[in-house]
């Protein structure tokens, strides 16, 4: 039995999230349908990272098991079947047939995009935020987050997780052209965590909370004090990393 990892990218506004949810259109559902049609048999996949409705992905992974030996030509066939709002970037064979797309991932990187003046070409690609903010405060709040490992405050309820501990390797705000981006890279993320980090930091930058109040919010471990309200369409799952040698490109 061969285990394959499929790397996909998608426009999150076209789907009701990445994970299968009944009859709703989802990324995983469309991928399963395309694979099943091409292989002429039912196919199920397992995803590396669950993204909410509206959240985009430049990189997400799914794994599946097949007796067949696939080659790189399947990329063309799958992309011809998939909707225009998603595509398969790469397919890899796992060197370990027991490797799990979710649990083998060593880190993930997300980016949240904000812009300040109406731009029709950024509609549902980034968050329009026409308010005055203190960017220096944002640099301070993002640096502060690097000092913590317990992010229970920034996890939605009923997350079904055994631990709220996450290690952040990067947490910073970047000016990119006329946009402001929050980039966060870590070993794992909790349900709703990145959007809560963004929303709560923006409240500090608008003077709704002081820096000391932000620190207290982090340490409170109370998700009712975090701001989860920023929309999903500003968020991008940008990168998922795996151990070297695990993913072998198809020939």
As annotated, the active-site residues are 52
CA distance 214 to 74: 49
CA distance 237 to 247: 19
CA distance 125 to 185: 20
CA angle 11, 14, 19 (to 5 degrees): 85
Q: Which residues pair with 92 in a beta bridge?
A: 5, 249
Task: Count Cβ atoms below 10 Å from residue 69 Cβ, excluding itself.
Answer: 10
Q: How far is CA 115 from CA 58, 124, 177, 181, in A?
A: 19, 11, 10, 9
CA distance 51 to 150: 21
Across the chain, the runs of DSSP E, i.e. the strands, are 2-10, 46-47, 56-66, 86-94, 107-115, 127-128, 168-176, 179-186, 235-241, 247-249
Q: Are 198 and 133 in contact (CB under 8 A)?
A: no
């Amino acid at each position: 039995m061969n285990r394959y990892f499929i790397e996909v990218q998608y426009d999150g506004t076209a789907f009701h999230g990445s994970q299968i949810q009944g009859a709703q259109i989802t990324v995983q559902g469309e991928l399963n349908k395309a694979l099943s049609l091409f292989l002429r048999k039912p196919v199920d996949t397992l995803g590396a990272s669950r993204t909410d409705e509206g959240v985009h992905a430049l990189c997400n992974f799914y794994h599946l098991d097949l007796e067949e030996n696939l080659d790189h030509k399947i990329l063309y066939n799958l992309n011809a079947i998939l909707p225009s709002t998603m595509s398969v970037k790469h397919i890899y064979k796992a060197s370990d047939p027991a490797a799990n797309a979710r649990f083998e991932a060593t880190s993930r990187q997300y980016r949240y995009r904000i812009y300040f003046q109406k731009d029709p070409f950024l509609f549902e690609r980034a968050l329009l935020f026409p308010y005055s903010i203190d960017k220096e405060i944002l640099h301070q709040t993002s640096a502060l987050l690097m000092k913590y490992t317990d992010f229970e405050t920034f996890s939605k309820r009923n997350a079904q997780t055994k631990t709220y501990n996450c290690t952040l390797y990067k947490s910073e705000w970047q000016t990119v052209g006329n946009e402001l981006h929050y980039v966060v890279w870590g070993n794992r993320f909790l349900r709703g965590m990145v959007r809560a980090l963004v929303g709560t930091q923006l409240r500090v930058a608008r003077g709704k909370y002081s820096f000391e109040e932000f620190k207290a919010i982090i340490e409170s471990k109370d998700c009712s004090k975090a701001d989860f309200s920023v929309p999903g369409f500003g968020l991008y799952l940008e990168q998922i990393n795996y151990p070297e040698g695990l993913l072998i490109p198809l020939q």
